[in-house]
Structure 1
Amino acid sequence: MPLYEHVFIARQDLSNAQAEGLIEHFGAILADNGGKVVEHEYWGVKTMAFKINKNRKGHYAFLRTDAPAPAVQEMERLMRLHEDVMRVLTVKVEAHEEGPSAQMQKREERGERGERRERR
């Protein structure tokens, strides 16, 4: 089955437990349609670069899934209809990376960024 990574932003006025409950809810939707959540991460409340629906902050969540395309489409459809979810991003990947995502790693663990190029 295809592999996907999803990030969604939920409203800031939810509690942490409610935001993590959304992860479980959408994971259950995938399971009902023949997919599964391989791994999930709750990134916490973060400040956004711009306002979305008059909100400056949001609960960020990350899902790694192994699901058929119709299951992912159904989950995305229900995410977009859910009143607590503000934004959704889904990316199809060749393989899931091992370990935590870059958001969850400490700055020292991420590795060097490389040298900057000279500007002309």
Structure 2
Amino acid sequence: MNTYETVFIVRPDLQQEEIEKELEFFKNNIEQNGGKIIKVEPWGRVTMAYAIENYAEGYYFLIQFEASFEYPEELTKRFRYNENVLRFVVVAIDDKKFKLNPRKDTGAKRYVKKPGARKPREGEEGEEFAPEAGEEFAAGEETTEDSAE
């Protein structure tokens, strides 16, 4: 039996019961295929670095388990065909090089964006530079405030 680790992201618009059901499904699938779960860490709702399928956040889960050499391929199929899973990764862990330690809290703050709340972008309130009526810019001439002085 080899040691594996999987991290997967579940859609944030699911109800809490549905999110727990997804986690239980994958835990049961590992055990039904002869695997042994070592550790399960729900990381919670986290803002992603970039949007995936128009979601800026997702529920992250980590599962460390022991299974046969062939099983990660089966687990990968289960992740791929599950519409609630946004992204996943399954990796083999070398027991000699890595210790299976719990995730340490680094003190980094996790921000959850409130619906409708966002910071305005620079230039968003119509601060575009355009020639005033009757004024034209020559080719190559800059259109910034400094060049107008």
Fold in common (TM above 0.5): yes
Give the secondary structure class of the aligned counterpart of 1:22.
helix
Say if 1:20 and 1:42, in contact at 8 Å, map to a contact too. Answer: no
CA drift of 1:98 comes to 4.2
Amino acid at match of 2:99: E
Q: 1:61, 1:31 → 2: CA distance?
A: 17
Alpha-carbon displacement from aligned partner over 1:71-110 (angstroms, at most 9, x marks no partner)? 2211110111001001011111112634412xxx2227xx
Q: Residue in 2 aligned with 1:65?
A: 65
Q: Residue in 1 aligned with 2:102?
A: 100
Q: Residue in 2 aligned with 1:77?
A: 77
Higher RCO (CA < 8 A, seq sep 6+): 1
TM-score normalised by length of structure 2:
0.65
Say if 1:3 and 1:92, in contact at 8 Å, map to a contact too. Answer: yes
Which is strand-richer, 1 or 2?
1
Q: How does 1:24-63 map to 2 (within 5 A)?
A: 24-63=24-63
Give the secondary structure class of the aligned counterpart of 2:30.
helix
Give the secondary structure class of the aligned counterpart of 2:37.
strand
Amino acid at match of 2:74: E
Identity %: 31
Give the secondary structure class of the aligned counterpart of 1:19.
helix
Q: 1:67, 1:2 → 2: CA distance?
A: 6
Q: 1:27, 1:98 → 2: CA distance?
A: 18
Q: 1:98, 1:77 → 2: CA distance?
A: 25
Q: Residue in 2 aligned with 1:117?
A: none
Q: 1:16, 1:60 → 2: CA distance?
A: 13
Which is helix-richer, 1 or 2?
1
Alpha-carbon displacement from aligned partner over 1:47-87 (angstroms, at most 9, x marks no partner)? 00111011100000000010013222111101110010010
Q: Which runs of 5+ in 1 are unaligned?
A: 109-120
TM-score normalised by length of structure 1:
0.79
Q: 1:15, 1:93 → 2: CA distance?
A: 32
After TM superposition, what 4+ stretches of structure 1 lie above 3 angstroms from structure 2? none
